[in-house]
Chains A and B, each alone.
Chain A
Amino acid sequence: GQQLNQSPQSMFIQEGEDVSMNCTSSSIFNTWLWYKQDPGEGPVLLIALYKAGELTSNGRLTAQFGITRKDSFLNISASIPSDVGIYFCAGPDSGAGSYQLTFGKGTKLSVIP
């Protein structure tokens, strides 16, 4: 199946700083999804991207669908303590149909107050 490489694996930042993380694939994705998972909770969908080059914002979050359709990034501006969690990128596995998700390994974000 397809694989998603997500980086960085973890990051420690000061409150107020901006954050950037990305996801790359060796194959094309038609949809990119970004999730956040808090400890003890299920992943929550943050942003969905459907078109190459698309740039979408959700509050302090901005995500872009790479023009090659093989990458995506997520930016968080002016981080706050509640941004702490694990961020996953995901995309439908086109090889098995259009609905089974492949997940990256996640970026663990820690925010230092």
Chain B
Amino acid sequence: SAVISQKPSRDICQRGTSLTIQCQVDSQVTMMFWYRQQPGQSLTLIATANQGSEATYESGFVIDKFPISRPNLTFSTLTVSNMSPEDSSIYLCSAYRLAGRFYEQYFGPGTRLTVT
């Protein structure tokens, strides 16, 4: 398995500001992802963090709002820009490692963001 840590674990931010969330994996992984989870809801994929190239965003998410970096195989950041109360959510980092035919994806503990 992979151990994933995220910083910060939670934050309360003012409208119009930006927050950068860090994700660190304890070993090299094939893929890293960022998800959003609204309270009481399931997980929604924001983007795939690609090492050395621009992230791949899902429909409804754009780079200007959620810039992502992945400078190496174990680290990624997600920035939530120009925040509004609608951005209040849990943001989850995830990592995937392919070992033969086995697919397993692991999640960090999440960052709980509240925008006032």
Residues of chain A touching chain B, judged by Cβ–Cβ distance below 8 Å, are: 31, 33, 35, 40-45, 48, 50, 88, 90, 92, 98-101, 103-106
A100 touching B48, Cβ below 8 Å: yes
A99 touching B103, Cβ below 8 Å: yes
Name the residue on A nearest B1 (C-beta): A45
Name the residue on A nearest B4 (C-beta): A42
- Majority SS at the chain B contact face: strand
Kindly list chain B residues whose C-beta atoms are within 8 Å of the C-beta of A88. Answer: 42-43
A99 touching B30, Cβ below 8 Å: yes
A102 to B106, CA, bound (A): 14
A48 touching B104, Cβ below 8 Å: yes
A33 to B104, CA, bound (A): 8
Kindly list chain A residues whose C-beta atoms are within 8 Å of the C-beta of B31. Answer: 99
A98 to B42, CA, bound (A): 20
Please name 15 pairs of A and B residues whose Cβ atoms are closer than 8 Å in the assembled complex, sorted by A.
A33-B105, A41-B110, A42-B109, A43-B107, A45-B105, A48-B102, A48-B103, A48-B104, A50-B103, A92-B103, A98-B103, A101-B105, A103-B42, A103-B43, A105-B42
Q: Please judge, given known A-B contacts A31-B103, A92-B103, whether A100 and B108 are in contact too, CB under 8 Å.
A: no
